[in-house]
């Protein structure tokens, strides 16, 4: 299995367009094993079943969208407590504008997601500078579709930005196929798994969440 899960949240549709392009790139390598889901509809089971997780977010006040942060806290972090994330592959993309030409917190938002993935023991795949579209939509960490002009006027994402997203999806899919499940074998679980009660308390649940 080389299953790739792309999760995203979107407000104006631009991040969704980027997410669909990422999915298209991943599907060009692994076909139907690439799955696209809204963050709000993503469960622990979806993440558990995936070899790779690619997360996409709008930029909100120099950080990731609260919907994405909530999903990380209620899926990735919970599975990490159970030692089920080590060796999975992770990537990120984003969409946002802001005043000026610097992207209004793109790097902070992307690193925020990647740092959560790193804390889970995931293998991170950044965005190489020679990827198609990197000159327009590239950060070190993942593609960013700049959807706003220099004075925050909405302009939407361009075809070249979408090309960058497709490149990223395909690149992560290639890494997934190359590892072919060997990530977890190379990084075996060794963590002492907390009790179900502690996992439930950590996740804000009143009772243990089901396996």
Q: Tell me: the pLDDT tens digits for 147-196?
A: 766 666 677 788 999 999 999 999 999 999 998 756 555 555 556 667 77
In a domain, 210, yes or no: no
Tell me which residue range forms the domain holding 196.
Answer: 4-202
| Within-domain flag for 208 | no
Reference 72, options 119, 32, 26, 107; nearest CA is 119
Cα–Cα dist 172/154, whole Å: 29
Domain-embedded: residue 52: yes
What residues does 7 pair with on adjacent strands? 37, 55
pTM of the model: 0.86
Asked whether residue 166 is assigned to any structural domain, the reply reads: yes
Quick check: is 180 in a domain? yes
- Per-residue pLDDT tens over the stretch 71-105: 999 999 999 988 899 999 999 999 987 665 655 67
Tokens matching residue 112: 């925020």
| Number of structural domains found in the chain | 1
Residues with Cβ within 8 Å of 160's Cβ and at least 6 positions away in sequence, in order, are: 133, 136, 137
> Residue 77 and residue 200: Cα distance in Å, rounded?
12
For residue 100, what is the domain's CATH number?
3.40.50.360
**Does residue 24 belong to any structural domain of this protein?**
yes
Report the Cα–Cα distance between both ends of the chain, in Å, rounded: 21
């Amino acid at each position: 299995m080389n299953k790739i899960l792309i999760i995203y949240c979107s407000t104006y549709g631009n991040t969704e367009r980027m997410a669909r392009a990422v999915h298209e790139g991943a599907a060009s390598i692994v076909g139907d094993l690439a799955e696209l889901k809204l963050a709000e509809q993503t469960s622990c089971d979806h993440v558990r079943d995936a070899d790779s997780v690619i997360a996409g977010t709008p930029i909100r006040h120099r950080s990731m969208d609260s919907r994405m942060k909530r999903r990380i806290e209620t899926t990735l972090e919970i599975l990490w407590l159970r030692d089920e994330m080590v060796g999975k592959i992770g990537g990120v993309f984003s969409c946002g504008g802001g005043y000026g030409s610097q992207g209004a917190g793109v790097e902070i938002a992307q690193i925020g997601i990647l740092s959560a993935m790193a804390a889970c023991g995931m293998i991170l795949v950044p965005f190489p500078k020679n990827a198609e579209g990197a000159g327009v939509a590239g950060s070190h960490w993942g593609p960013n579709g700049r959807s706003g002009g220099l004075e925050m006027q909405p302009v939407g994402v361009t075809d070249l930005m979408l090309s960058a997203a497709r490149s990223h999806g395909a690149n992560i899919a290639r890494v997934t196929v190359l590892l072919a499940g060997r990530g977890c074998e190379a990084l075996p679980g060794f963590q002492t798994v907390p009790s179900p009660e502690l996992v439930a308390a950590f996740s804000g649940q009143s009772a243990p969440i089901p396996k």
